[in-house]
A and B are shown apart, each in its own frame.
Chain A
């Protein structure tokens, strides 16, 4: 944790203060129980007082986009794009800016996430049906782009969506309405052995698996409006992470697993917030508004090198933005 605090305070205006905090830690040998909250609070105050990080605009077409996911090598980003009445997945090569559709399907597809090895993705595929959509999770290999259904419920029109890989790539979490209301489930990467992780009459959504594999963050309305909760991959130890008034949704873990980012409207507008997470999954300090913009800022996603990306309409339409530096080195 000590190292983590130094990481958070590396570089930028806060760096000198960070050093002094570290010396305080080392020289005066403050107890860990006292110093940890102190250092964290200090870090939070510095970050909270700072201007939002500078960002780079990645796309410029302005069309509504959703849920970016970055390849592990940082060379590609995949997102869903609404064009007219369609919603399709696109892959963008960062160095060239070239884009192409991920599949050639003509039905709605969204929620794509890169595998930990970057060789495939999971995504939600909304098959047009005689009735309403029957959404299932599919697997697509790269670069061959072989598409295979993975999570297909036996009960027709249920929804399986929002896939999230386990860090070892052997399992994935997702949401399903298979047994009634929408809950979080887990399955093997071959689509077998479903395990129900949550069972509540409220809506559970958007699971995100922590890099150490020990925790799954998700959004839930069980306490009122959407809040971020954490649960172990065995379904145990479900606990509340956010408590503020307002919506909290779309959690995502930083690559080092020390931070959660999510969308919140606690200031009356959709913004991206981050907050440090302890080793046992407790929130540290206060959430930080990383966007501070009158525009809609939504769908956070971390780059592999720790920069924070999101979709925003701060310029002309909805585009993908990413912080110039690691979100915690400003």
Chain B
């Protein structure tokens, strides 16, 4: 094809070479997709994947470690399902973040960079906010089978009433923002904040008939919305796909066996994990499942987040622990049974950990110095513990890994490396965790 012809199509030679290079890298990459379970608010590492049973009672908490399917690896007794599946994932026990402010740490976790982060007090840090990991995937890998490349299941992330930065495409443009969906028991599928056409407002969609009607409306609105001008051809393709009767079946959880839906848990996070599997199965490249929109659990407008400064153990035991255990276990099983786990990287992590020393409200506060994350599939090592914290779980006892390191590794598994980042004028973040890909 001549350069002139390319130009007529609105594609430059550089674009063509970039796309070709990305395609070559992707073809060689062990993973096709990423599912990020974003545990917003910050789980306690001492009560999930890095217990300290020999620490003083003021530190260790009220739970015991239990054996897992991998000899020598122990996790919390409240996660028995994940204990049975330890051979399917690895645990990072020396993650470290540069901030203990949800807003800042959240931006770091989702972009690998502190630039442009907004703190609880309203201070915005210098520098331009970087695109989030899903947006990077969207930019470099492009669409697969027409499915939106980057999808977020859940509403915008907040700390208090302040939305955090770093959830979208930033300088990459709105075409690389996540396409948002959500699911709520009793309401069904929701398209939060979707205002493509005047007069369209998000509303609960449950029955298939209502879903079809909603998407028909959406389809009609696409042709008239001025905002469409802001989307590139891939995004238009994605929306067109959503209005396609066959494609919209991807979003219909009623098509899943009831038994499987129950294995995931008939609560919001569980059903969103199931939806994430359906999305990657249909070609989505990066699906982020937000545990909650707010860091707060029940107080102050919270919606079940992990930021349990008080009543940590009560709430973790009564709600969070079994929810995480059930949903993540089901996701690992489901991906594995469908032969998708080896090509789907799964990450479960929050923005930081929690104070090893229990506070005077039977809770744990923010702790950025060391925390844990779980990584599975996507060609990454399984059945391993990588890194360690010290005796009380206060600081790394081995080399610390940053959120940027974690996602440099994960994105590397889908074929995005330093070269592809710089080729796309993106700033490489972090270093690959070799133990995770060895």
Contact = CB atoms under 8 A, between A and B. Distances in A.
Interface of A: 62-64, 66, 82, 84-87, 107-108, 126, 128-129, 132-133, 135, 157-159, 161, 177, 180-182, 200-203, 205, 221-222, 224-226, 245-247, 249, 265, 268-270, 296, 298, 316-317
Nearest to B299: A133
Contacts of A202: 57, 62
Given A222-B57, A268-B66, A298-B318, 18 more contacts: A62-B185, A128-B299, A132-B361, A133-B298, A159-B311, A159-B362, A177-B362, A181-B58, A181-B360, A201-B58, A202-B57, A202-B62, A221-B57, A221-B62, A225-B62, A225-B64, A265-B77, A316-B262
B358 A181 contact: yes
17 contacts: A66-B318, A85-B302, A87-B298, A108-B299, A126-B298, A132-B310, A158-B361, A159-B311, A159-B361, A177-B362, A181-B358, A201-B56, A203-B362, A226-B63, A245-B64, A247-B77, A268-B66
A224 B184 CA distance: 37
A135 B314 CA distance: 13
A84 B301 CA distance: 11
A8 to B, nearest CB: 31
Contacts of B296: 132
A64 B303 contact: no
Interface in B348-381: 358, 360-363
B64 A224 contact: yes
B361 A246 contact: no
Interface string B251-289: 000000000001000110000000000000000000000
**10 closest Cβ pairs, A-B complex:** A221-B62, A85-B303, A133-B299, A225-B64, A182-B362, A108-B298, A202-B57, A132-B309, A268-B80, A201-B57
A317 B186 CA distance: 12
Interface residues of B, number: 40
Contact of B77 (A133, A135, A181, A225): A225
A294 B80 CA distance: 12
| B contact patch SS | loop
Looking at A107, A221, A317, which has the most chain B CB atoms within 10 Å of its CB? Answer: A221
Interface in B172-205: 184-185
Contacts, number: 107
B53 to A, nearest CB: 7
Contacts of A62: 185, 266
Given A85-B303, A245-B64, A203 B358 contact: yes
B301 A85 contact: yes
A162 to B, nearest CB: 9
| A contact patch SS | loop
B299 A181 contact: no
Contacts of B262: 316
A203 B313 contact: yes
Contacts of B267: 64
Contacts of A247: 62-64, 77-78, 317
Contacts of A245: 64
Contacts of B304: 85
Given A159-B362, A177-B360, A126 B299 contact: yes
Given A132-B309, A221-B57, A203 B62 contact: yes
A136 to B, nearest CB: 13
A15 B165 CA distance: 68
B322 interface: yes
Given A126-B298, A157-B310, A159-B311, A296 B322 contact: yes
A132 B299 contact: yes
Interface in B299-337: 299-304, 309-311, 313-314, 317-319, 322
Contacts of B310: 132-133, 135, 157, 159, 177
B254 to A, nearest CB: 14
A308 to B, nearest CB: 19
Nearest to A227: B62
Contacts of A161: 311
B146 interface: no
B112 interface: no
B291 to A, nearest CB: 12
A157 B77 contact: no
B161 to A, nearest CB: 12
B61 interface: yes
Contacts of B78: 247, 265
A198 B314 CA distance: 18
Contact of A181 (B301, B303, B317, B362): B362
Contacts of B266: 62, 316-317
A270 B317 CA distance: 11
Contacts of A108: 298-299
Contacts of B301: 85, 128
B362 A84 contact: no
Nearest to A220: B62
Contact of B80 (A157, A177, A203, A269): A269
A225 B66 CA distance: 11
Given A85-B304, A177-B361, A247-B78, A225 B313 contact: no
Contacts of A129: 299-300
Looking at B63, B309, B314, which has the most chain A CB atoms within 10 Å of its CB? Answer: B314
Contacts of B317: 247, 249
Interface string B46-67: 0000000100111001111010
Contacts of B303: 84-85
Contacts of A317: 266
Given A85-B304, A129-B299, A177-B362, A221 B61 contact: yes
Contacts of A107: 299
A108 B301 CA distance: 10
Nearest to A62: B266
B184 A84 contact: yes
